[in-house]
Structure formats: structure tokens, C-alpha cells
């Protein structure tokens, strides 16, 4: 079983993807609502043509997360019950990702040595997504 978070955005998914690609050194594969093949009983909601219907960020064959823009009439709302937990190769990688993700966000814990990790950091990015970055053990 593989578990990965699925994040919903309010029209700014493409910006979030760009930030996460830069922070994590990955590339997203994305499908826009306008790319969806014709399907009986499904028409993309008006106003979604250029929005992201589904995107995945993967690294070394593992899905990090899936993302999408919610149709304008549905909207997305974030609570504080979710964070993306990322194990990285070394303190330098944690610090580099942290420095990108913290721009416009809210720092909870600066990168530092803890009893459970060589380097751990936590923050909320400018999109309201919580992140916990740690060194792989």
C-alpha cells in the first residue's frame, strides 16, 4: 500500500506545483480540465478550462502527492489536520526545501537537530499546506 496526500486548491494549483517542483527537485505531470477526453455524462465545469484537473509529483518512482484545482462552485478549504511528511537525503536538502517553502508562509520550526532526526523542520506554506521535512534515517 502506498499513501500520498491529495491537495485541493482554489485556482492556484499551477503556482503551488511550481513551488513544490523547485523545493523538492521534482517535475509534475499535469492534466488540465480542457485536456480531459470527452466522456458521456461529464462536461468540465465552466471556467475550469485552464485549471489543473489532476497533477502528480513523483520522485524515484514514489508519488509524493497529487494536486488539483477545485471547480469554482465547489472551492477548497484547508484545515490544520494534514501535513506532507517528506524524508530527504541530508540536512542540506531539508534546509534547501525549507527555504523555498517558507516564502510567504508561516515557520513552525526552523531546520534543526532533534532527538528523532539529524535535521527536522516544519512550516505552513503560502497556500496553507503544512510540511514536515526530515532527514531519512
Residue 129 is part of a domain; what is its CATH number?
3.30.720.110
Q: Same structural domain for residues 15 and 72?
A: yes
- Same domain? For 113 and 127 the reply is yes
Q: Are residues 70 and 20 in the same domain?
A: yes
User: What is the average pLDDT value for the chain, to the nearest integer?
Assistant: 87
73 and 86 within one domain: no
Which residues in the chain come in under a pLDDT of 70?
Answer: 1-3, 76-81
Q: 3-31 pLDDT, tens per residue?
A: 678 888 989 999 999 999 999 999 999 99
C-alpha–C-alpha distance, residues 13 and 75, integer Å: 12
Residue 58 sits in which domain range? 1-77
Residues 125 and 58 in one domain: no
Which pTM does this prediction carry?
A: 0.75
Q: Which helix (H) or strand (E) holds 107?
A: strand 106-112
Amino acid at each position: 500500500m502506498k499513501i500520498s496526500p491529495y491537495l485541493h486548491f482554489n485556482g492556484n494549483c499551477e503556482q503551488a506545483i511550481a513551488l513544490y517542483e523547485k523545493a523538492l527537485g521534482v517535475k509534475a505531470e499535469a492534466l488540465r480540465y480542457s485536456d480531459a477526453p470527452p466522456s458521456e455524462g461529464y462536461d468540465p465545469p465552466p471556467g475550469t478550462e485552464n485549471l489543473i484537473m489532476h497533477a502528480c509529483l513523483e520522485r524515484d518512482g514514489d508519488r509524493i502527492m497529487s494536486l488539483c484545482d477545485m471547480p469554482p462552485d465547489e472551492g477548497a478549504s484547508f484545515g490544520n489536520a494534514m501535513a506532507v511528511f517528506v524524508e530527504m537525503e541530508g540536512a542540506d536538502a531539508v534546509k534547501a526545501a525549507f527555504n523555498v517553502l517558507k516564502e510567504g508562509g508561516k515557520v513552525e520550526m526552523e531546520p534543526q537537530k532533534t532527538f528523532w532526526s539529524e535535521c527536522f523542520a516544519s512550516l505552513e506554506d503560502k497556500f496553507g499546506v503544512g510540511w514536515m521535512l526530515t532527514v531519512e534515517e
